[in-house]
Structure 1
Amino acid sequence: MKLKSTFKNLATLLVLIITSSVFAQDGFQGQATYMSKTTMDMDNFGGRELSPERKKMIMERMKTMLEKTFILDFNKTESTYKEDEALEAPGGGRGFMMGGMAAGTIYKNVKENLLLQDQEFFGKQFLIKDSLVKLDWKMSGESKQIGKYTAFKATATKKVDAADWTNMRRRGNDKDKKEDDKKEVAELKKDSTKTDAPKDPFEDIEIPEEIEVTAWYTMDIPVNSGPGEYWGLPGLILEVNAGRTTILCSKIVMNPSDKNEIKKPSKGKEVSMEEYQDTVKKKMEEMREMFRSRGGRGRN
């Protein structure tokens, strides 16, 4: 029994030595593939006026925006995260997103505390340069298996920026609001002098100030990185659940023979994250005023 236990300990030690030597290499690099999926509740975006068939058609058309594949190339201190170009929809445009935004590469450098992101917004190219935002992660003893890796749970509260359309929701979306909606519909049926619904779609939509984030990371790959803007845990983040979005790692290749260069984005007008968010807010307000001036009719 002692001999068996000794062999087991030696095997564990050997694995640790091999793993440590791999990550200690100067040229170490890894590549992780992530599947990102965002759900949208049509019932909370005026969906009650749409037929089930219409809702299904809209969701099918939005699928290319809501389901994407990303590649994270990382080393000990740097990473780049971008959409898998090989899987882009024909004619869909690079990284097309709602509201005239096209997301490019997200570059993180944990040693320099640097975030760089190239972002297209309504035909203008921006280079967002700012410090990394470190979430106040709360560790949990909970663990689970993701592929061949043991992953541990961590949670945090994240502030939501004005450009994050994935977290848009109906204003006051809770049980009390739903009850109020039922009463409103009943009143509308009784009183034909009332209008059906707000003509301004922005009045019915809000972006929450904060959302809860759950991450699962593995210490089997001891790098301080993860998908998108997420980082700050003692191992590679394999899964993220934030608001309506789930990001799950489906494949990891350590020291791939064909490495992608991890380089800083450089194109676009350099702005801070706050400056970029102000630009988005102003554009959204401009669109809202334009909609109002047309009486909610859109383009003629």
Structure 2
Amino acid sequence: MKKIILLTLLLSTSMFSQNFTGKATYKTHQKLDLKVSTSKGAPNSDIQKKLHAQLMKHFQKTYTLYFNKSASTYKQNQELSSPQVQTDGIQIRIGGSGGGTDVLYKNVADKEYINKTEVSGKRFLIKDTLENFDWNLTGETKNIGNYTCYKAIKTRKEIRTLTSMTDGETEEKEEEVTIETVAWYTPDIPVSNGPKLFWGLPGLILEVQDGKQTIVCTEIVLNPSEKIEIVAPKKGKKVTQEKFDKIMEEHTKEMMERFKNRRKSKDGNSLHIEIQG
């Protein structure tokens, strides 16, 4: 197994003063259940394997968390990547928000967050209250790089909508699922912060397993030489998380309609693609 190396600076005991800053790099991985079939026969295993490999690569992203004692920004690192996945004449456009232009600001002291994101060229500022995760702290430990980390877990129930399309007909199924979140945090870095919207533990979160997504810290620099400024984004249409979720729901329906109108390949075969993640 390849070892994760965390780069740290050897600092004095005053490194966690009020002016303390740091940056942490995280990599994401996503498990996918991908089903591809055509209306004329059984699933093509070669196409399925190629699509699965390309989609897995698409969901492998790198982010940087800039943080101080009370606030942070979380940004995707710039990468030369296409928002489309294409193989053997099959093209999938990955819907969603602004990706590399997003900025997630968290203020753990005020228990609020502001997420700057874009949808179809429209910029939004999602401002809302941080969730109280109500973590269950365990005594289990493991080392991540040079840090001793402690395990915390929580569960939640949510309604998921699975959308599939066969011969132009869209079918939606709702199901209640239980999601377990496992976080590994280190008290050696006493900030109640972490990647994405995760927070609320007595130390920086270095790893998260949230359902089928895994987020792992690969590098930490404490009090870096370059100046770190943590500023809340200000430009965009202000909405709550609930309002933005409704906007995204409508956006997804529009994307499905567009896909429906262009569903048939040149030889007349219709395609059924189902992605569960």
State the TM bucket, normalised to the shorter chain: 0.7 to 0.9
Q: Which amino acid aligns with 1:247?
A: I
In the alignment, which residue of structure 1 is the partner of 2:26? 34
| Secondary structure, aligned partner of 2:113 | strand
- For 1:40 and 1:200, the matched residues in 2 are separated by 23
**Is the 8 Å Cα contact of residues 163 and 170 (structure 2) preserved in structure 1?**
no
- For 2:159 and 2:77, the matched residues in 1 are separated by 24
| Secondary structure, aligned partner of 2:32 | coil
State whether structure 2 residue 71 is matched by structure 1 residue 71.
no
Match of 1:102 among 86, 89, 98: 98
Task: Tell me: CA distance 1:136–1:298, structure 2 relative to 1, closer, same or farther (3 Å).
Answer: farther
- For 1:29 and 1:205, the matched residues in 2 are separated by 46
- For 1:273 and 1:79, the matched residues in 2 are separated by 19
In the alignment, which residue of structure 2 is the partner of 1:82? 75
Task: Tell me: CA distance 1:102–1:295, structure 2 relative to 1, closer, same or farther (3 Å).
Answer: closer
- Consecutive unaligned residues of structure 1, counting only runs of 5 or more, are 1-16, 163-167, 172-196
Alignment deviations for residues 146-179 of structure 1 (CA, whole Å, 9 cap, x no partner)? 11111111111246598xxxxx7689xxxxxxxx
Q: In the TM superposition, what are the counterparts of 1:119-138 in structure 2 within 5 Å?
A: 119-138=117-136
Q: Which structure would you say has the larger RCO, counting Cα contacts within 8 Å and 6 or more residues apart?
A: 2
Q: CA deviation at 1:53?
A: 1.7
Q: Which amino acid aligns with 1:116?
A: I
| Secondary structure, aligned partner of 2:109 | coil
In the alignment, which residue of structure 1 is the partner of 2:7? none
In the alignment, which residue of structure 2 is the partner of 1:234? 202
In the alignment, which residue of structure 2 is the partner of 1:51? 44
**Is the 8 Å Cα contact of residues 129 and 271 (structure 1) preserved in structure 2?**
yes
- For 1:160 and 1:106, the matched residues in 2 are separated by 23
**Is the 8 Å Cα contact of residues 36 and 67 (structure 1) preserved in structure 2?**
yes
Q: Which amino acid aligns with 2:179?
A: I
| Secondary structure, aligned partner of 2:131 | coil
- Consecutive unaligned residues of structure 2, counting only runs of 5 or more, are 1-10, 85-92, 269-277
Task: Tell me: CA distance 1:290–1:254, structure 2 relative to 1, closer, same or farther (3 Å).
Answer: closer
- For 2:146 and 2:179, the matched residues in 1 are separated by 29
**Is the 8 Å Cα contact of residues 159 and 174 (structure 2) preserved in structure 1?**
no
Task: Tell me: CA distance 1:218–1:114, structure 2 relative to 1, closer, same or farther (3 Å).
Answer: same
Q: CA deviation at 1:40?
A: 0.8
| Secondary structure, aligned partner of 1:150 | strand
State whether structure 2 residue 231 is matched by structure 1 residue 263.
yes
Alignment deviations for residues 258-293 of structure 1 (CA, whole Å, 9 cap, x no partner)? 13321111121110000000111122334445666x
Report the more deviating stretch, 227-236 or 204-213.
204-213
Deviation beyond 6 Å, 4+ runs, structure 1: none
Q: CA deviation at 1:84?
A: 1.5
**Is the 8 Å Cα contact of residues 73 and 79 (structure 1) preserved in structure 2?**
yes
**Is the 8 Å Cα contact of residues 30 and 56 (structure 2) preserved in structure 1?**
no
Q: In the TM superposition, what are the counterparts of 1:58-207 in structure 2 within 5 Å?
A: 58-85=51-78, 88-90=79-81, 98-103=94-99, 104-158=102-156, 198-199=166-167, 202-203=170-171
> With structure 1 as the length reference, what TM-score do the two structures score?
0.71
Q: CA deviation at 1:51?
A: 2.1
**Is the 8 Å Cα contact of residues 226 and 237 (structure 1) preserved in structure 2?**
yes
In the alignment, which residue of structure 1 is the partner of 2:253? 285
Is the helix fraction higher in 1 or 2? Answer: 1
Q: In the TM superposition, what are the counterparts of 1:3-22 in structure 2 within 5 Å?
A: 19=13, 21-22=14-15
| Secondary structure, aligned partner of 1:32 | strand
- For 1:203 and 1:265, the matched residues in 2 are separated by 38
Q: CA deviation at 1:210?
A: 4.7
Identical positions, percent: 39
Match of 1:250 among 218, 227, 232: 218
The alignment yields a C-alpha RMSD, in angstroms, of 3.3
**Is the 8 Å Cα contact of residues 35 and 247 (structure 1) preserved in structure 2?**
yes
